[in-house]
Amino acid sequence: MTGRQVFPPLTLRAEGLSCGRGGMALSQDLVFSVPSGQCLLLRGANGAGKSTLLLTLARIIRPLSGSFGIDGADEDMPLIHYCGHRNAIKPRLSVCENLDFWRTMNGANGVSSQAALARVGLGHLGDLDAGFLSAGQTRRLALARLLVSLRPLWLLDEPTAALDVDGHALVGQLIDTHLAMGGMVVAATHDPISLSKAEQVQTLQLGAVS
Amino acid sequence: MNAFVRMLTHELRLALRGGGDVLTLVLFFVIVGAIVPFAIGPDQALLARIAPGIVWIAAFLAMLLGLERLFRPDYEDGSLILLRHAALPFSLTVAAKIAAHWLVSALPLIIASPILAMLLAMDGEAFWRSILSLLLGTPALAAFGAVGAAVTVSIRRGGLIAPILIAPLSIPVLIFGVGAITGQQAQAAMLFLAALSLMALALAPFAAALAISSAED
């Protein structure tokens, strides 16, 4: 699945987007456009509004003003994978059951659960209760969810949190593969993410509201 | 359809692996019924007369206990956000949760109700009618409960507020539920109960889904 365009050409476009929480504006008049095969890295200090922007893009919270949308998309299609701070993993279910559940709920059009677990380095732990996983392993399981259902736009909030050095590299590879398939990524992170092609990356500095 | 069934079985699996969550509700239901004879005294005629009310009160309280489990764990671990992006429409996800809530917190009570009937000295006919009225009425309690739980999901300690919100909605269910067991026009009360349940089940998934969507904002 390398280098093959899977998704139709789409563009995530925001114009004059202001978002905030509890009525307090965190970022104002953002303008960006992320075409297929591009990654937008959100940078900024703690509290700069990175997570808020991602939640806004995920349509969980309403923007204060401005608009955004995905050009060229069929509105009925689920387009977004949101991967937030909270991993949405049930400790009482096994690793495989957790992933299979989301595979059914989100649409099983990606790789198989086994393949996804192997990809994120949990291949041998499928039958273990997810409650026994370490923080980093839980994070890897949450990332596996991105692979079992294909969706063009990934919204990643601190994807490398709790991950080891290999995990950081893994996140980079997953994003690389996704971009090669014609996907879009918006990621908030403090860590450097190394992607194979530097021209695929835009950076948006948040928190410099003047 | 596939995803709806999966959501339902997922909820059931979580509840049954909960290590006695279901048993707690059943025990609570039986205990509420069991302490009444001690509080009232051993007057069999009186007990038999108030038994339908006791059964319904016990069922109502036991179902309130289970409400906290409906949306809060999913809210806290982030599942709720992801479920809103699932391929299954969110109101159907909520509907599956309500169905699972009924199966986990109402059906076991109905199965345990013979114990209560025995403790409260109900006669055979009243017992069968109480089972029927619980079967018809508890879906409405589950549906109203889900709306209450959804409205309070983002509030800490919301579990204490939800019962206050849904108590007024549940009063008709209790009135007709008890009426269906003892009333002069039990038949009509049964029909009213069924109508309440159908209406509540039809509206609650949309209301609860809307409440959750606006709660996060």
Chain B residues with CB under 8 Å of A90 CB are 14, 77, 79
Question: Quick one: pLDDT at residue A208?
Answer: 57
| Residue whose C-alpha is closest to residue B71's, from B41, B93, B46 | B93
Name the residue facing B81 among A82, A102, A145 (closest C-beta).
A82
Q: Do B78 and A85 touch (CB under 8 A)?
A: yes
Q: Do A62 and B217 touch (CB under 8 A)?
A: yes
Secondary structure element (H or E) that encloses residue A11, with its range: strand A11-21
Chain B positions with Cβ closer than 8 Å to A = 2-3, 6-7, 10, 13-14, 17-18, 74, 76-79, 81-88, 93, 216-217
Question: Quick one: pLDDT at residue A78?
Answer: 83
Determine the distance in angstroms separating the CA of B4 from the nearest CA of chain A, rounded to an integer.
8
Mean pLDDT confidence for A43-63: 89
Determine the distance in angstroms separating the CA of A78 from the nearest CA of chain B, rounded to an integer.
6
Mean pLDDT confidence for A139-151: 93
Determine the distance in angstroms separating the CA of B82 from the nearest CA of chain A, rounded to an integer.
7
Q: Do A87 and B78 touch (CB under 8 A)?
A: yes
Gap between the Cα atoms of A100 and B16, Å rounded: 18
Question: Quick one: pLDDT at residue B155?
Answer: 84
Please say whether the beta carbons of B116 and B176 come within 8 A: no
Determine the distance in angstroms separating the CA of A178 from the nearest CA of chain B, rounded to an integer.
19
Question: Quick one: pLDDT at residue A107?
Answer: 87
pLDDT tens sequence across A86-126 = 999 999 999 999 999 999 999 888 899 999 999 999 999 98
| Chain centre to alpha carbon of residue A73 | 18
| Residue whose C-alpha is closest to residue A163's, from A130, A183, A189 | A189
Q: Do A97 and B86 touch (CB under 8 A)?
A: no
pLDDT tens sequence across B182-210 = 878 889 999 999 999 999 999 999 999 99
Residue A94 sits at the chain B interface (C-beta within 8 Å): no
Secondary structure element (H or E) that encloses residue B2, with its range: helix B2-16
Q: Tell me how many degrees the CA angle B208-B210-B216 measures, rounded to the nearest 5.
A: 100
Question: Quick one: pLDDT at residue B68?
Answer: 86
pLDDT tens sequence across A57-84 = 998 888 888 889 888 877 777 889 999 8
Q: Within 10 Å of residue A195's Cβ, how many Cβ atoms?
A: 17
Question: Quick one: pLDDT at residue A162?
Answer: 87
Gap between the Cα atoms of A8 and A10, Å rounded: 6
Q: Tell me how many degrees the CA angle A144-A148-A150 measures, rounded to the nearest 5.
A: 115
Residue A209 has pLDDT above 70, yes or no: no
Chain A residues with CB under 8 Å of B14 CB are 90, 92-93
A&B contacts, CB < 8 Å: 64
Q: Give the pair of three-digit tokens for residue B35.
A: 């302490």
Question: Quick one: pLDDT at residue A210?
Answer: 43
Share the mean pLDDT of chain A: 88
pLDDT tens sequence across A164-188 = 999 999 999 999 999 999 899 999 9
Mean pLDDT confidence for A128-135: 93
Name the residue facing B81 among A60, A62, A78 (closest C-beta).
A60
Q: Which of A101, A105, A149, A155 to mutate to test the interface with B (most CBs of B within 10 A)?
A: A105
How sure is the predictor about A1, in pLDDT bands with cuts at 50, 70 and 90?
very low
* Segments of B72-167 assigned E as strands: none
What value of ipTM does the predicted structure carry?
Answer: 0.88
Chain A residues with CB under 8 Å of B94 CB are none
Residue A4 sits at the chain B interface (C-beta within 8 Å): no
Return the domain boundaries, chain B: 2-215
Question: Quick one: pLDDT at residue B217?
Answer: 67
Q: Do A93 and B81 touch (CB under 8 A)?
A: no
Determine the distance in angstroms separating the CA of B67 from the nearest CA of chain A, rounded to an integer.
18
The list of chain B residues with pLDDT below 50 reads none
